[in-house]
Amino acid sequence: MQIKLFTIPVGDGGTALEEMNRFLRGNKILEVHDQLISNENGAYWCFCVRYIERTLNTVSNDKVKVDYRKILDDETFKKFSKLREIRKKVAADDGIPAFAVFTDEELAGMAKLDRITEKNMLLIKGIGDKKIERFAKHFITISEKDETTGTID
């Protein structure tokens, strides 16, 4: 645990406050004490911040939300959206969170496939035998014209 002190004049134009806010966003804050000090030189807010420095590992573990609408082409995104609807229903029926069925990354991988089969699903990072056994049947659709395809209409 470390301590950092900030002194911000009451009439600050925002520079000192922005510096403190940048520091607060970049570290794990344990505790903040503040006090208003007034003397012949003016009024100041004094902040005592107890914190733990974030390491590179802590920062890199934060997941960045991916906008699949931007990284998938229109046709693939439509398949992805349909797969998300199926996932939502499967998750609700099983009473589990949607990501426990398949993650968005896994669904995006499935949407990129020409044909969704158990064999092809196993090629996607994160999908293993357990997920195939439990959930694949919901995502493999048999076309009325060709019962061997397993494509999404």
Domain spans of the chain?
2-60, 68-139
Q: Which two tokens stand for residue 54?
A: 């974030």
- Looking at the predicted structure, is the pLDDT value of residue 133 above 90? yes
CA angle 86, 78, 85 (to 5 degrees): 15
CA angle 146, 136, 103 (to 5 degrees): 125
- Summarised one tens digit per residue, pLDDT across range 77-117 is 999 999 999 999 999 998 999 999 999 999 999 999 999 99
Least confident among 20-34, 50-64, 111-125: 50-64
- Summarised one tens digit per residue, pLDDT across range 8-23 is 998 887 888 888 888 8
pLDDT, averaged across the chain: 84
- Looking at the predicted structure, is the pLDDT value of residue 55 above 80? no
Query: 6 with 46: CB under 8 angstroms?
Result: yes
Rounded Cα distance between 82 and 71, Å, is: 17
Residue 11's Cβ-count burial label (10 Å; 0-12, 13-18, 19+) is exposed
Q: Which residues contact 87 (CB under 8 A, 6 or more apart)?
A: 98, 101, 102, 107
What topology does CATH give the domain 68-139? Answer: DNA polymerase; domain 1 (1.10.150)
DSSP characters for 33-89? EEEEEEETTEEEEEEEEEEEEPPHHHHHTSPPPP-HHHHS-HHHHHHHHHHHHHHHH
Q: Which residues contact 104 (CB under 8 A, 6 or more apart)?
A: 66, 68, 84
